[in-house]
Every structure is written in structure tokens, then in C-alpha cells.
Structure 1
Amino acid sequence: MVRRYYRPIITHAEGNKGSLALAGGPFLFSRCEVLTRSGSEGFVDAADVPDAWRLRLTRPRPLLARFAQVLPLMMGVLNITPDSFSDGGRHVAPNAAIAAAHAMHAAGAAIIDVGAESTRPGAPELPVGDELARLAPLWSGLAGLPVSIDTRKAAVMAAALDAGAVIVNDVSALGHDPHALALVAARGCPVILMHHQGTPETMQTAPHYDNALLDVFDWLEGRIAAAVAGGVAADAIIADPGIGFGKGLAHNLALLQGLSLLHGLGVPILLGASRKSLIARISAGEPVEQRLPGSLALALAGANAGVQLIRVHDVAETSQALKLWRACLPVPA
């Protein structure tokens, strides 16, 4: 049986009478592209989208309202690692990390994503004790900030939640540590499930997809179902397509070009493409510290696709770009 996927064509102003609110608003769609693994079958009116798909596309996403009312929200990246691909070594000292977290929050980051293990391509796994030791000096200085913990390990998730973190961000989608799913379910905290192929050590060794967009959709759909079956509330889940995690340039572009399809998962979408190597590959080979323009372009592309959360290194600059983007829309966003 041929499976059909429905990618909403997003508009930023009132369309025809058949327009529906995407994920509860503020954007609309009146048509969807019908995709199959054989290609596109063209477009249908929103009214002709099957009920189950239409429900997932239109159902409000209240999860992030606790952080801010204006979408997309920004998640500021704070790596306290010596070897992360972008900011490795900059925030190893606890005082520097704490100061950076507060500065990002003041600049507009609704959430501060704190990570102590590098998951850049080729990075080895960090022992859990080392990861905990890197994080321990930070918690008192981060008190009161909306913190997510970027980790694959249940023990680190538990320690961070005990210290006040409010979201778990797992690049393995709760698949790395056999205790992670039960922990997240028991704690009742929101969780970000990110698509990946392989591990950080191996993920960029000849990644392969039959259809990158549909393969990632199916995989995330499966991980969401597994999380719900394991006791995680459906409205506590955020999905991340994992730009750059086990993907070549063509795979990343297919995901970015078809990004609005992921609203069909029925959960908020996070886009994390800041400073990643696809910018240099499309542009002129710029080193990581010269990828701000490309990062802003990708953030705005995500905003136009209706993603609810954008993970960025350059918070103040992205905040300015999003303010101008909102001001230019025909309706408030």
C-alpha cells in the first residue's frame, strides 16, 4: 500500500476560505503537497487532507508557551566542552559558562541548552563521570534560568533535572542509554528527540537514505511512538530532524527544503543548523567563526517553515534577524 505524506504550503496571511491554522497558529495553510516514495503527486486543498494528517497539522502545540508567547523561540547553545565543533574551549571555565548563559538569556534566548559532551562528527563518547564533573560547578550559577540538558545519558539527565533543568535534549532520541526513556517518563519533563544515523564517531561515514525527508519523518514518527509507549506524554515531545547528524549535503538540503512536512508529526519542531558545515559547503568554505550570515539565513528559513524552536550559537544576532522578519510579515507572528 502506498503511503502518502502531506506537506503543508505555509502562508503568512489570510488565504482562501479553506485556510487552516498550522499547529494552532499563527501561520496558515490552504494546500498540501502530496508526497510518496515515488515522488510528488501534486497538491490538494487542506479540506481534502485525510483527517488524521489534518489533525496532526492543525493541533495546537502548547508545550513551549511556558517560555514565551512569540514563535519561534530561540535555544541558545552553551557547550562546556574543549572540543565542540563551534565553541569548544570557550566556556570550559564555570564562570565563563555561567556568564555566557545569562548573556544569552538577556539577549533573547528562551532556553539555554547546556552540553558537556561533544557530539561533533568523530567525537568519542565521554565517560559519564567526566560529563557530570564538568556540569557540577555550573548549577548554582544557572539557577533560575530555563535550562535544557544536552546529553545522551540517564545519569546526567537526572542530575541536571535535580539541579533545575527543565528539558532533556537527547541527540540519540532516548536510544543511547537504556535507562533514559524510563527516566524521562518518570520525571514528566519535555524531551527533544533528534534524528541521527549512526553515532558521533561514525555518523559522517557514508550516510545513506532512500529518501532523506521521508526516512527522517518515518524514523522520528517511530521514536515518538516509542516514547509515548514508554510513558512520555505526547504533548511533552519536540522533534529535531538532526541537520548534520549522519547526513550529507544533499540530505540536509532535502530536509530543509521539505521542512514543513515535519509538522505532520504532531509535535513542535526544533531546527538546529547554526554554524554547521553545510553553510561552508554551499558558500565558499568559510571556517566556523565566519558562518554567521549562513546561520541567520537558515534560521529565517526555519521560521518561514513554521518551526517552533531554533537552536543557535549567535543569540543576539538571530534575535535581531527574527525581529525584522516578524516586522515584515503581513500578519503578526
Structure 2
Amino acid sequence: MASPPSPVHGRGAQSDAVPQRFGLAARELDGDWLDAREDIDGPGPKLRTTVVEEKPKTIVSFNQSPDIPFDRSINAYRGCEHGCIYCFARPTHAYHDLSPGLDFETKLFAKPDAARILRETLTKPNYRPAPIAMGTNTDPYQPIEGRYRITRQILEVALETRHPVTITTKSARVTRDMDLLRELARLDLVAVGVSVTSLDPRLSGLLEPRASSPAKRLEALGSLVAAGIPAHVSIAPVIPSITDAFIEGILQEAAARGVTSASWIMLRLPHEVAPLFREWLEVHFPERAGKVMNIVQSVRNGRDNDPSFFSRMKPQGVWAEVFRTRFRLATRRLGMNTVSLKLDSSHFVRPSPGGQLSLL
């Protein structure tokens, strides 16, 4: 039996597989020297993160998907240094002729003009406000936000115009914008979701190598609650035989910090995410890789992924029902999900084309 490949330390993806959907030529190392290449050539160069500044013409993306609860979103960055191996956004890097693997977490794009473009969008007479979702594709608080502050600038525009926003993140950096979030919350303009996948820092370090530790994410949830900011814990994704053992524990830890809203999402493996995730399993959990993928396929109609509208977010089968029941019983016991949160769009103030808010 072949031994599993050596891990790429500090990164989620274990290779830079080229997407085959677009007919790009695949490159594969070959030769007897591969097993001893580090002894011969020494270790390869350390992966470095690079950032390209992007100049988009639009910043708000609209969708008509029946499977998600929002119709518009903003992503300040393309690619994500958190490196979550399961990230469903990885295939978007293929549109840049880049790999959804290591390129996705090392070759990033930032949109410094996002706040200015958002303001221009909000000035349009036909624009009608509704909550803008942030963090739906890549994390708005990944490490480069500390340098660019694009997410903070977007929140400043939201507060100025009284426009509602939602945030989803795996980073405790969200608390750095507590001043803005507190003011937005006072006006019923914001809700913050923090995704927690496990309570084991070592496991999270393999799954999400550059995201905040589980303890820091839970601490951030507690800080948000204490500041009066609507906070939500998302167990996303649930990975069978890897993270599902933590469902009740995560909910209990969040509830102990005053969080009353929770959700879960089953692992999704679209396009190149499936082979990247399989490779990750072979590196880190070879003894249970087969079991994990058998369960994944059992809830996705026998496939690695179900891309169809109406069913892609609704896993089926016995295992899906087990997870669903466990989540329902735990939230009921903890008194969670008894009140629905509704953000307020009624106080939206359209900015004038000159940059000042309209007085009308």
C-alpha cells in the first residue's frame, strides 16, 4: 500500500491541482527521485502570500438563488489566506487561471475601492435597500484585512447610510470593529455570524490553518453578545467522522456565552474542492478517508456533491437526519433559535452623488 503524501505545513490544500473543467494542461511531477527530492535538492521554497489590487466596476453581487436567505453580497477579497480545505469558494480562482488549491490561499486579490463603489451603488435612484451579506464567499476578516481595512470602510458606509449588513467570519478580528458594530446594532442594522467547526485546536489547525482558533472564535462571540451585537454561531461545515462529534459541544459553549442563534451546514464539495478534500483526507486521516467519503456520498445522492438548486443545501438520507436531529435537540435543550432576527431597512439614507448624504 502506498504511503500518504507528506503534508504541506501551515496550509489547507496539499497541492496546486489545475482545474480540468477549462481544459488547462495538467502538470505532474514524475521520476524516481521524487521520494528523495528533499534529500537531494533540499526543502522547497516557503509559500508566500501575495496580494494583487483589483479595480472592479461593481461591488455588490445580486443573486436569485432559492437556497440562500439573501439576495445581495459583497466580497472585499478574492481568495482567502485562512486556507480552509473545504471552502466552496475555491473553484472561483480557476477563472483567473489559478489553482483552487494552494493558489487560492496564497495568491489573493483585494478591492481597495470597494467602499467608494458601494457608495456609488447606493446613490442610484432605483436601488432598494436590503441586508448585504459579507463573508459569503471569502472571509472579510482574513489576515490582509488588518492592512487594507476594506471591510471596515464598507461598515462605515453602511453606518453612514443606515444600510443593514450581515457578516460571516472565522476570525476573531471582527472584534476590532466593535465600535462600528455596536452603533450598527443600536440601529438594528447588523448581525454577525461566527463559524466554529470544532473545539480541537489541532484539528482546526489542519482544517483551517490560518483562521482564529476555536477558543478565540468563541471568545469573540461572547464579546459581541456583551456589546449588544446580535451574534450567531454557525457550525459550518459539519464533516462526518471528522467534526460531527463537536456539534453539541459547540452549541453548549456558544450558549454559555449568551448566543441564542445557531445553524449548521453539511460539507459541500463542488468542482475542484472534492479532489482537494480527498487529498487532504489521505494526508491527515488516511485510516478513515473511505468512511468519510462514503457518508458524504450517502447524503448527496451517491455523488461527492449535489449542485442542484433546492437540494444542494439540504442533505438527504440517514446520516443527514442524524445530524439534523442532534442539532435540533441540542438547540431546544439550550433554548436557542426561539426568536428570529430581522434587520431594519426602513431608515436607509441615500448618499448624494457628491458624496454627502442627502438631507431629504
Normalised by the length of structure 2, the TM-score is 0.38
Report which of the two structures shows the higher radius of gyration computed on alpha carbons: 2
